[in-house]
Amino acid sequence: MDIRNEILESYTYYHIYNRGINSENIFSTKENYLFFLKKFAAYVIPVCDVYAYCLMPNHFHFIIKVKSETEIKIFAKISELDKAKVNKGLHSFDAIVSKQIGKFTSSYSQAYNKINNRHGALLESPFKRKRIGSEEYLINLIIYIHLNPIDLKQNFETYLFSSYSSILSNSKTNLMRDETIMLFGDLNNFIYSHHHPPKFDFNF
């Protein structure tokens, strides 16, 4: 099945990720990272809750949970009657979440290209998505994503473009901070689990 036709279902967790074409960098400056997160908030937060993320120089990771059909219909201004009339496919109600993510990455790519006098695709297409089928997998994936900065020989606790420090702070956030912490039981175990990670066996 074409990944672009895969429905992102309500109340379901997904790992959303992608990288630059030929693994090229997709962020050049701090402003790029901040702009990327701003675009994510504008396009994706209305249809998804976000539990974790990490932006790396040439790729990104998000853990999202798709919102309810009711919330998505309100966002898209679709009635039950309209929903029943819409055909399946790329322009259907079921494709709204995927389309919002696509608009988000396209909007960022266009802005990045303009600023850097660049042409052509910036990110691989379509974006990658993997359904998260168990709480254990979800917890381990959150840890894995937060530890990504170690590959850059940076401290994951202070890395600027990860949700780890945001989850530990009290500042305003779009993250599902309390819900993420509760997956680990409490904040102390959240921190402990990141310092004593399991052996990862992920295939992305």
pLDDT tens digits, one per residue of 63-118: 999 999 999 999 988 755 565 555 555 557 788 999 999 999 999 999 999 999 99
Structure token pair of residue 149 = 């900065």
CA angle (150 as vertex; 147, 151 as ends), nearest 5:
115
- The mean pLDDT value for 39-46 works out to 97
- Is the pLDDT at 52 greater than 50? The verdict is yes
Residue-averaged pLDDT of the chain: 91
Residue in this structure with the two tokens 């979440």, named with its chain if needed: 97
Burial (0-12, 13-18, 19+ Cβ within 10 Å), 37: middle
pTM equals 0.91
Residue 162, judged by CB atoms within 10 A of its CB (0-12, 13-18, 19+), counts as buried
Dist. CA 158–CA 139, nearest whole Å: 20
Residue 1 confidence (pLDDT): 44
- Report the percentage of the chain scoring pLDDT > 70: 91
Q: Beta-carbon neighbour count of residue 113 at 10 Å?
A: 14
For the chain, the structural domain boundaries read 3-195
φ/ψ (deg, to 5) at 33: -60, -45
Domain 3-195 has CATH 3.30.70.1290: yes
Please give the structure tokens belonging to residue 146.
Answer: 């937060």
Instruction: State the Cα–Cα distance between residues 125 and 19, nearest whole angstrom.
Output: 9
For residue 22, is pLDDT > 60? yes
Beta-ladder partners of 175: 50
DSSP run (H or E) holding 142: helix 135-146
Helix 30-43 and helix 96-115, axial crossing angle in degrees, nearest 10? 150
Mean pLDDT of 125-144: 96
